[in-house]
Amino acid sequence: MQRLDKLLSEAGVASRKDLKAMIRAGRVSVDGVTAKSPEQKVDETAAQVFVDGAPVGKQRAILLMLHKPAGFVTSTDDPRDRTVMELIPEQYRYLRPKPVGRLDKDTEGLLLFTNDGQLAHRILSPKKQVFKCYYAEHEGQATEDDVAAFQAGIILKDGDVCLPAVLTPQGQGRSLVEICEGKYHQVRRMMASRGMHVNYLKRISEAGLELGDLPVGCVREVEVSELDL
């Protein structure tokens, strides 16, 4: 048995606070009887729960895009640092979105969140060849040899081999890097392997989705149809 408000918030109907008001307003019924209290116990395996006459089903899937600022770690919990979860607006938290992959503490830019595990897998799996594009400021100047090395598959200093990637020089000390996997510190390590230490890194697109003019620290809801998967 489970509390009615807990069952409804886990199904993604609304936040616990809003649910209290909805139940008190008589908008929720359990097995044909109007519910009176958020604390009411229901059998989550058998109860027929309706909100505004519509059956409550699986949790609503959600996809969010954050413009991550530097200084936040991609983790749901951290004893020292501020986490990206702090930047998720209250209105989405009850849906329990999780980061899709990670950005380093110092990296800025586009970070997706979802509560749909299958969708996260489709975006992240290197086999699916979903590209992420980064803008990097670095030491030195990328050359045609560097471009060819990225295309052939960079071998990192620890011997790990990267899938083919696209390096596009943007002038002295600036490049775009497109990769379809997410190894630890991958872009920084790929650039370092070619003697170009990265000083600034920002993810500007992922799965065809662009950061655009979303302000730093802000979140917007994204439709799955906006993704190029």
Contacts with ligand URA, residue ranges (CB under 6 A)? 103-104, 107, 185-188, 201
Question: Do residues 142 and 120 lie in contact, with contact meaning Cβ atoms separated by under 8 Å?
Answer: no
Closer to ligand URA at the Cβ: 35 or 179? 179
Cα gap 131→129, rounded to integer Å: 6
Contacts of range 41-44, beta carbons closer than 8 Å, 24 or more positions apart:
41/1, 41/2, 41/3, 41/4, 42/1, 42/2, 42/3, 42/4, 42/7, 43/1, 43/2, 44/1, 44/2, 44/7
Please confirm, yes or no, whether 104 is among the known catalytic residues.
Answer: yes
Closer to ligand URA at the Cβ: 30 or 177? 177
Query: Helix or strand or coil: residue 206?
Result: strand
The vertex-87 CA angle with 224 and 223, nearest 5°, equals: 10
In whole angstroms, the minimum distance from the beta carbon of 191 to ligand URA comes to 8
The residue whose two tokens read 């980064």 is 134
In whole angstroms, the minimum distance from the beta carbon of 181 to ligand URA comes to 10
Closer to ligand URA at the Cβ: 95 or 165? 165
Closer to ligand URA at the Cβ: 56 or 136? 136
Active-site residue, from 31, 78, 104, 145:
104
Question: Do residues 219 and 95 lie in contact, with contact meaning Cβ atoms separated by under 8 Å?
Answer: no
In whole angstroms, the minimum distance from the beta carbon of 199 to ligand URA comes to 12
In whole angstroms, the minimum distance from the beta carbon of 38 to ligand URA comes to 41
The residues annotated with a catalytic role in the active site are: 104
